[in-house]
């Protein structure tokens, strides 16, 4: 249990500058419009053979070369160890939520507007403690509404304390609190919803996201310029979007890419930023099993090569996808049911009296156990 306790942080110790601002390459006037300089012309020198040369030997070799160049010029992003202790989240909701309204109740609200609606506290997350190690892949298994999205937003620093919400516990990133570092440059959150600029193409969306985090390739060190210029094309191929790279993303009013391709754009928009901690919320929605496997496999290669960490919430993952994760985190109604190695989870539940039947998908069995059916 001592391993789950956060290390003591000396208040007199200076916070390392590398954690205060993780954006090593500043964004310098990204909207400057020189003569004939547009987003398309700026990257028009990219050639497919250049990317094939960079990827010669596979994705792992590319990441190793990227890591070597980063260390050489001292621009390697930190790989933090995330520790959360007694993390909880509660929100104030109307006490009548879930009740059936009647004619009398609605008339009462109309003629007595001065009466305050009674409120009650709903605990989205109950106190939980754990560690996310550098270079690890963690799978979140939970039923819809169990609190996995709230947990991921808490790690990304998206939850705030106000009059209606309350965050308990502490989250440390390599011993530092979230307000002591720039979480935007450290964590990348892939949300369930696909929010994009509909008039941009897929390639332009990736390039814009890359520039917002890393700056323009010409502003980066010379040793990293070639890789930086090809980073967008790399993720287009990894996510299988090269055929629709010049198609607008679109939305409900503008026809664009398909629903599955739009979900891949959502994933790639975060991955192209190069953060050290990826938080993915149900990225398999709208994707087939083969596409999900390819994305998770590329993320695992990234984690093992560059030392980053990924926490991914999936619905009904296939056994091949589950085997690529190191740890599993199970949540049920805001309670942490299990957090530990993937190879030990079935033995853990077997000791509790829940034995996985033969020829049954372990992931489906675990979800069924926590669902109470």
Q: Which domains does the chain have, with CATH numbers?
A: 56-78+134-149+182-372 (3.40.50.300)
Provide the pLDDT for residue 341: 93
> Phi-psi category of 240—alpha, beta or left, where left has phi over 0 and alpha has psi -120 to 50?
left
Contact 362, 356 (CB under 8 A): yes
Angle between helices 202-214 and 222-238 (to 10 degrees): 140
Distance of CA 238 to the CA centre of its chain: 17
Provide the pLDDT for residue 71: 60
Listed residue (290, 202, 298) closest to 241, CA to CA:
202
Per DSSP, the three-state class of 207 is helix
Instruction: Average pLDDT across each block of 10 residues of the chain; the chain has 373 residues. List them in order.
Output: 40 39 31 36 40 56 64 60 91 72 76 77 89 90 88 88 85 86 84 87 89 77 68 78 88 86 85 84 81 83 80 89 92 90 91 88 86 67
pTM: 0.74
Provide the pLDDT for residue 298: 79
List helix spans (H) across the chain. 17-20, 39-42, 48-54, 59-72, 103-111, 148-155, 183-186, 202-214, 222-238, 259-271, 289-306, 319-322, 345-351, 362-371
Q: Which residues of 177-203 are buried (b: 16+ CB within 10 A; e: fewer)?
A: ebeebebbbbbbbbbeebebeeebbbb
For the beta carbon of residue 254, count every other beta carbon within 10 angstroms: 10
Provide the pLDDT for residue 103: 78
Q: How far apart are CA 298 and CA 271, in angstroms?
A: 11
Give every CB contact of residue 195 below 8 A, 6+ residues apart in sequence. Answer: 266
């Amino acid at each position: 249990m001592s391993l789950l306790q956060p290390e003591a942080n000396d208040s007199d110790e200076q916070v390392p500058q590398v954690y205060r601002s993780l954006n090593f390459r500043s964004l310098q006037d990204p909207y400057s419009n020189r003569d004939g300089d547009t987003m398309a012309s700026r990257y028009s020198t990219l050639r497919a053979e250049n990317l094939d040369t960079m990827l010669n030997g596979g994705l792992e070799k590319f990441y190793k070369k990227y890591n070597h160049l980063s260390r050489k010029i001292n621009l390697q992003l930190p790989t933090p160890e995330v520790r959360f202790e007694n993390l909880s989240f509660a929100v104030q909701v109307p006490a009548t939520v879930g009740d059936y309204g009647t004619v009398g109740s609605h008339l009462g609200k109309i003629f007595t507007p001065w009466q305050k609606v009674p409120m009650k506290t709903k605990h989205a997350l109950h106190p939980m403690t754990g560690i996310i190690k550098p270079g690890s892949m963690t799978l979140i298994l939970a039923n819809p509404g169990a609190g996995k999205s709230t947990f991921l937003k808490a790690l990304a620093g998206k939850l705030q304390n106000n009059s209606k919400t309350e965050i308990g516990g502490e989250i440390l990133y390599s011993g530092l609190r979230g307000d002591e570092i720039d979480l935007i440059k450290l964590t990348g959150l892939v949300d369930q919803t696909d929010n994009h600029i509909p008039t941009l193409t897929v390639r332009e969306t990736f390039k814009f996201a890359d520039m917002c985090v890393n700056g323009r390739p010409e502003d980066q060190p010379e040793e990293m310029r070639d890789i930086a210029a090809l980073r967008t094309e790399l993720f287009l191929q990894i996510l299988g979007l090269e055929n629709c790279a010049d198609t607008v993303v679109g939305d409900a009013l503008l026809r664009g890419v398909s629903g599955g391709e739009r979900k891949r754009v959502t994933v790639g928009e975060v991955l192209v930023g190069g953060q050290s901690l990826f938080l993915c919320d149900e990225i398999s929605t709208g994707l087939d099993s083969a596409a999900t496997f390819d994305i998770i496999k590329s993320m695992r290669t990234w984690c093992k090569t560059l030392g980053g960490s990924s926490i991914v919430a999936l619905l009904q993952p296939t056994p091949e996808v589950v085997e690529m994760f190191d740890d599993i985190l199970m949540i049920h109604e805001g309670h942490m049911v299990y957090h530990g190695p993937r190879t030990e989870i079935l033995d853990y539940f077997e000791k509790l009296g829940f034995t996985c039947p033969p020829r049954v998908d372990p992931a489906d069995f675990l979800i069924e156990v926590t669902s109470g059916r």
